[in-house]
Amino acid sequence: MRDPFSVLGVSRETSDEDIKKAYRKLARENHPDKFTDPAERDRASEKMKEINAAYEEIQKIRSGRAYDSYGGGDQHYNETSSSGDDRYVAVRIHINARRVREAEAVLASVPSNERGAEWYYLRGLTLMLRGQIIDAGRCFDIACERDPGNEEYLAAREQFRARTSAYNGGTYTVNTGCSDSFCDCLKICFCVNMCIGGPCC
């Protein structure tokens, strides 16, 4: 499937209300009943299927359900922090409860100079829950680079790669700054319009 945001002609930063407006506008323009020519009706019908599927996928992404599509919706993660940091225990509990916004808030509170391998691993999990699988993979890679012997991080990266290879590498992403230098993915504006709060800024 094409990037659903591109199908609707919006960006990931677009508000829910504006996405709904874009969807309705496209639906009006492409409704098959508007056309009398059979070929045009068929074209409009196919376009409407794409528009409806894109809107539905965006709703899943923004409600935090997109991760279920990749086979991880029922997965339970270890709630013991590998670094012994109580903040990361809290993040793990939030992730297991699918409280992504709360998990991200705790991660955002960690100063940049304290963000080690576990931070990137947990950030990767929150990105997976949001359906931002490409950026999640970058964070898993960084976690493994920083702590190459950690079985938990290695297993997560392998599971991620297995899922995304089946998914054809992933389509949906947002520029979170998750790079080899430093994943500043989490200046979370508490974010207004992504699944449960808003996109990463």
Whole-model pTM: value is 0.50
Whether 154 and 75 map to the same domain: the answer is yes
3-state SS record for 35-92 = CCCHHHHHHHHHHHHHHHHHHHHHHHHHCCCHHHHHCCCCCCCCCCCCCCCHHHHHHH
Q: What is the C-alpha to C-alpha distance for residues 7 and 23, in angstroms, rounded to an integer?
A: 9
Whether 141 and 84 map to the same domain: the answer is yes
- Provide the H-helix boundaries in the chain: 4-8, 16-30, 38-62, 86-96, 100-108, 117-129, 133-146, 151-166
The pLDDT confidence band at residue 179, using thresholds 50, 70 and 90, is very low
Residue 193 lies in a domain: no
Mean pLDDT of the chain: 76
Report the residue count for the chain: 201
Into how many domains does the chain fold? 2
Residue 177 lies in a domain: no
pLDDT digits (tens, 9 = 90+) for 146-170: 999 998 899 888 887 876 665 444 4
Q: Return the CATH number at 93.
A: 1.25.40
Alpha-carbon 49 to chain mean position:
23
Whether 109 and 35 map to the same domain: the answer is no
Taking the alpha carbons of 171, 176, 182, 188 in that order, is the dihedral positive or negative?
negative
Whether 79 and 157 map to the same domain: the answer is yes
Q: What interhelical angle do 117-129 and 86-96 show, nearest 10?
A: 20
| Domain membership of residue 43 as a residue range | 4-62
Whether 57 and 91 map to the same domain: the answer is no
Q: Which of 88, 149, 94, 157 is nearest to 124 (CA)?
A: 157
Residue 191 lies in a domain: no
Whether 23 and 56 map to the same domain: the answer is yes
Contacts of 26 (CB under 8 A, 6+ apart): 8, 9, 51
Whether 58 and 76 map to the same domain: the answer is no
Whether 43 and 81 map to the same domain: the answer is no
pLDDT more than 90, % of the chain: 34
Question: End of a domain among 62, 83, 108?
Answer: 62
Q: What is the C-alpha to C-alpha distance for residues 192 and 175, in angstroms, rounded to an integer?
A: 16
pLDDT digits (tens, 9 = 90+) for 56-112: 888 776 665 444 444 444 566 677 777 788 899 999 988 888 888 999 999 999 999
